[in-house]
Structure 1
Amino acid sequence: MTARELNAAGITDPRLRAAYRHCRRLNARHGRTYFLATRLLPPARRPAVHALYGFARWADDIVDVPEATGDVPDPGGTPGGHHGTGAARRAAALDRLAGDLARGLAGGAGAAPVIVALADTSRRYAIDHRHFADFLTAMRSDLTVTEYAHYGELRAYMHGSAAVIGLQMLPVLGTVVPRAEAAPYAAELGVAFQLTNFLRDVGEDLDRGRIYLPQDLLAAHRVDRDLLRHCRDSGRTDPRVTAAVREFAALTRAAYRRAAPGLPMLDPVARPCIRTAFVLYGGILDAVAADGWAVLHRRAAVPRGRRALVAADGLLRVTAARLAGRRAAVRAAGHLPPFPRPEEVR
């Protein structure tokens, strides 16, 4: 993390600075789209986003570590190499993470870097601790739950795995309306992002034994686990699978539509960041379609040129928002006539 960001956030303690830098490295390494969008936030707010991402990333890595490696990561950034079955090892690692989190949020010393940064962010922005507990509950369910009977069940799971991420982010982003008014849209955007990941990662999740596409949706197209496994192993496509994937994509696009009204509720200087993530994640759906819905065989990605264009647009919007904010501040001091807010930051 750059010294400029840490200084802007008022983070001066050496241990805290090191912890936030650790989280930034996790974000840069694993969350390309997320990290790119975060760069559009004011520098003072970026460390908090990296801390939130770092915690979520670490818990997710604990759950998804390959059985064969025998290495379960701990929040400090090193493999654990714990003994026991894969599921038991990962469950134990989540328990340790939960204990470390509780101590860190209570102000205890000796916590791992991810928890040090997360606890500091939680205090600075008054983030409800229940969001972290709900997230860990969802992560634990991934150790035993391998499929969902219907969309309602999947939505219940995504409250903890995705919606709470949006709710954690909201205090950091800031709003121009009461936070409670914006909260449902922030939660829905978290759901939309995760549905996108589920669609993109159907093949990889199947290899982990999990199917996030609801069973009733698959059954409506005469798709079951055996057919998915056959297509994955053979490299072949099947029109029934394609139809099911297309329907899941339509459900995902509906989530984006429900989340969209929340974008204008955000602080103007935060909107370009979230809009960029909104457009890039939504672009994954277009990439999946352009790739012939072959999610069982490869991971679709937004083309690099498209990513660059969206990022450039976001940068322009950031500049416009910051200029508008400065003019508003000067105007409030009585030095400028009224200046209309640019269309870009509406």
Structure 2
Amino acid sequence: MASASATPPPRCPPTPCAASCCAWASTSSRDWYEDRLSIPADTSDRSVGEDTSAREPTGVRLACTATARGRLPPHHNTDGNQRVSLKAMRARLLGRLDQDYAYCQAVQRTYGVSYYFAARFFPPETRRAVYALYGFVRYPDQWVDNPDEVAITPNSERASEAWKAQTRTKLDAYERDLVRALHGEPVDLPPLRAFADVMRRYNIPLRYPRDFLNAMRMDLERTRYATFEELQTYTWGSASVVGVMMCYILGETSPQTLEHAATMGLAMQLTNFLRDVGEDWQRGRIYLPHEELARFGITEAQIAQGTVDNRWRAFMQSQIARCRQLYADAERGVRLLPRRVQYPVLLGSRLYAAILDAIERNGYDVFRLRARTTYTEKVKLAARTYIEWRRSY
């Protein structure tokens, strides 16, 4: 998560014109993300691939080191009196890792339908890594968004604080276990094992998953945002760094590419916010900037009542226009990626942007109607996007 003490980008112009918001988004966001895409020099935030092999060994040596330290139980052959060979241990570890990746795939297939559809067009190794990234981010997101899944429900102030403490403890343990997995120590959750493998393979800096987890912690403490730039202190960690980590998996990490990826993450997160206004209100959260709501005369009482009037429709139109401009800005970075991964990235962008079309078809009623695309619509969009990609990229 971006530091709250960092200097935010300039404020959105105090005009209700959607076009001016779009122009702002394409300029100030660039400065905002450039500031956060600089990788610090201290070793605490380096990726595992950048550190010494003695401290953070890679590959199968990782698991072997853990075994030598006594962290894994000894394994014996069928005779029961000899340890298994290194080759057999390697096969066993790789087999479990395959299961971990398969688990992450199942998680994305269940919870991330739109992007799962696009991810299937990645090359096999890239696809596995994308599944692991999704699996890693899904667990914390589920914890902070679904309090009813824990023993304590936040119906009272005391229960709410207890639930927050429980969830904060989970997030802290999750981060510690990620670091342990990176050092070759055994951990329980399959997404952590798979994502640690991805971080080593693709040299993903540790600061990015930490930024994500900090944003999840922020969800426990903050439920309102005064301005769009304040909201960006949250969306940087909750979404933009996911786009940045994708760039490491896709094999292109130039500053310009990272900037476009961060913008795409922002566009997708804002799309989620618009789709889930009603659900977020039930969780006690409003991710729509107060300044922009007030500009259209919208109050929290109106959101609580789910009122869809001309003011709400005008507000949603301005928000959707900004999202579409952000998608357009982000898609300019697709050309910078290796050709073999361009199409699924472009398709993922188009599938998420199609949610905005669904919101419009529903008359901007995001309180009672779920904006979604059907499988048939996804297939048609995939075909149109493929033709466009072959002709224009």
Residue 305 in 1 paired to residue 389 in 2?
no
Q: 1:104·1:111 contact (CA, 8 Å) conserved in 2? A: no
Question: 5+ residue gaps in structure 1?
Answer: 1-9, 73-82, 319-341
User: Normalising by structure 2, what TM-score?
Assistant: 0.71
Q: 1:20·1:47 contact (CA, 8 Å) conserved in 2? A: yes
- The 5-angstrom pairing of residues 197-208 of structure 1 reads 197-208=272-283
Q: Secondary structure at the match of 1:270?
A: helix
Q: 1:200·1:300 contact (CA, 8 Å) conserved in 2? A: yes
Residue 156 in 1 paired to residue 259 in 2?
no
CA distance in 1, matches of 2:227, 2:117: 34
How far the C-alpha of 1:230 sits from its partner, in A, is: 1.5
Match of 2:187 in 1: 110
The one of 170, 177, 202 equivalent to 1:93 is: 170
Residues 215, 85 of structure 1: alpha-carbon distance in 2 compared, 3 angstrom cutoff: same
How far the C-alpha of 1:313 sits from its partner, in A, is: 4.5
Q: 2:224·2:285 contact (CA, 8 Å) conserved in 1? A: yes
CA distance in 2, matches of 1:224, 1:84: 26
Q: 2:114·2:348 contact (CA, 8 Å) conserved in 1? A: yes
CA distance in 2, matches of 1:262, 1:311: 19
Match of 1:254 in 2: 325
One-letter code of the match for 2:147?
A: P
Match of 2:117 in 1: 36
Residue 241 in 1 paired to residue 241 in 2?
no
Residue 281 in 1 paired to residue 329 in 2?
no
Residues 41, 315 of structure 1: alpha-carbon distance in 2 compared, 3 angstrom cutoff: farther
Match of 1:50 in 2: 131
Match of 1:136 in 2: 213
Residues 12, 272 of structure 1: alpha-carbon distance in 2 compared, 3 angstrom cutoff: farther
The one of 209, 213, 222 equivalent to 2:288 is: 213
One-letter code of the match for 2:354?
A: G
CA distance in 2, matches of 1:166, 1:97: 21
- The 5-angstrom pairing of residues 61-76 of structure 1 reads 61-67=142-148, 69-70=150-151
What is the percentage of aligned positions where both structures have the same residue? Answer: 36
How far the C-alpha of 1:317 sits from its partner, in A, is: 8.1
The one of 254, 257, 272 equivalent to 1:182 is: 257
Q: Larger Cα Rg: Structure 1 or Structure 2? A: 2
CA distance in 2, matches of 1:307, 1:299: 16
Match of 2:201 in 1: 124
CA distance in 1, matches of 2:150, 2:120: 34
Structure showing greater relative contact order (alpha-carbon pairs closer than 8 Å, 6 or more residues apart): 2
Match of 2:266 in 1: 191
Q: 1:135·1:161 contact (CA, 8 Å) conserved in 2? A: yes
Deviation by residue 1:91-138 (Cα, 9 ceiling, x = unmatched)? 111111111112112222234211100000000011111100000000
One-letter code of the match for 1:173?
A: L
Residues 11, 224 of structure 1: alpha-carbon distance in 2 compared, 3 angstrom cutoff: farther
Deviation by residue 1:194-246 (Cα, 9 ceiling, x = unmatched)? 11111111111111111111000011111121111022xxxx42222222222
Match of 2:16 in 1: none
Residues 261, 317 of structure 1: alpha-carbon distance in 2 compared, 3 angstrom cutoff: closer
One-letter code of the match for 1:225?
A: E
Q: Secondary structure at the match of 1:13?
A: helix
CA distance in 1, matches of 2:152, 2:391: 50
